[in-house]
């Protein structure tokens, strides 16, 4: 007679799990509920917890080592149980910052580690054009610009330049983030109008973003 050996999953010990979070200190509109992404030179805070057997592990005496792009930046020489670091993203776009967390000799066992990639993106400028098919009538039309992912936390640090058919609109006043575009009633139906905007961070001369949309008079 042969017997099958069964393991009860209730008694199987799961491997410790890393819970890693990060937050970029960049500008986004107040209504934005998505992930705030870093651009070049952004400060990021990275935190983690370790879940062991369904509970938060006590890492107060653990040797935690942090690596940024394969370079060791903090270890037990900086203190035990380090669960948070701050870093500045490199000055390039379109790549990632690789963060690796390693815990040495956890509970007398071997090394356990986890790696995450944080994308580095370009700042964005998004024109809000609340008109179906970008079709507008003659007279007044309102447009807004929303900056995303710039290295600032203050709306006052932006320079905004609108352009209509390649020229600065004469009617631009007041809030630079809003444009009241006034189309001459004599403009023929079907005419195309190129609307552009450039948003710059006055604290970082090379940090800017732009967008152009094509409007049609109907």
Q: Where are the domains of the chain?
A: 12-119, 124-217
Identify the band that residue 10 occupies on the pLDDT scale cut at 50, 70 and 90. Answer: very low
Q: In terms of residues, how long is the chain?
A: 218
**CATH topology agreement for domains 12-119 and 124-217:** yes
b/e per residue, 38-74, with b = 16+ CB within 10 A? bbbebebebebebebeeeebebeebbbbbbbeeeeeb
**Which architecture characterizes domain 12-119 according to CATH?**
Sandwich (2.60)
Whether 165 has a pLDDT exceeding 80, the answer reads: yes
Give this prediction's pTM: 0.84
Average pLDDT across the chain, whole number? 90
Q: Is residue 78 helix, strand or coil?
A: helix
What's the half-sphere exposure (Cβ side, CA atoms, 13 Å) at 187?
17
Tens of pLDDT along 119-164? 999 999 999 999 999 999 999 999 999 999 999 999 999 999 999 9
11 burial (CB, 10 Å; 0-12 / 13-18 / 19+) is exposed
- Predicted confidence at residue 9, as pLDDT, reads 42
Q: How many whole angstroms separate alpha carbon 148 and alpha carbon 57? A: 37
In sequence order, which residues have a C-beta less than 8 Å from that of residue 199 and are 6 or more positions away?
Answer: 123, 125, 145, 147, 150, 158, 159, 160, 161, 208, 209, 210
- Predicted confidence at residue 7, as pLDDT, reads 39
Fold for the domain defined by 124-217? Immunoglobulin-like (2.60.40)
- Predicted confidence at residue 154, as pLDDT, reads 92
């Amino acid at each position: 007679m042969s017997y099958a050996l069964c393991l009860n999953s209730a008694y199987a010990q799961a491997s410790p799990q890393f819970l890693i979070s990060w937050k970029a200190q960049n500008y986004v509109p107040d209504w934005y509920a998505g992930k705030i992404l870093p651009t070049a030179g952004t400060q990021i805070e990275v935190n983690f917890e370790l879940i062991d057997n369904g509970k938060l592990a006590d890492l107060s005496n653990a040797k935690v080592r942090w690596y940024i792009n394969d370079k060791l930046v903090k270890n037990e020489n900086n203190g035990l149980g380090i669960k948070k670091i701050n870093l500045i993203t490199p000055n390039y776009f379109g790549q990632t910052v690789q963060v690796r967390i390693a815990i040495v000799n956890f509970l007398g066992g071997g090394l356990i580690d986890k790696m995450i990639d944080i994308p580095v993106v370009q700042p964005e400028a998004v024109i809000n054009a609340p008109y179906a098919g970008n079709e507008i009538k003659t007279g007044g039309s309102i447009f807004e610009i929303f900056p995303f992912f710039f290295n600032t936390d203050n709306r006052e640090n932006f320079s905004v330049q609108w352009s209509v058919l390649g020229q600065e609109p004469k009617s631009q006043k007041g809030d630079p983030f809003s444009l009241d575009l006034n189309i001459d009633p004599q403009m023929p139906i079907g005419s195309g109008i190129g609307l552009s905007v450039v948003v710059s961070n006055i604290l970082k001369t090379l940090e800017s973003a732009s967008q152009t949309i094509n409007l049609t008079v109907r």
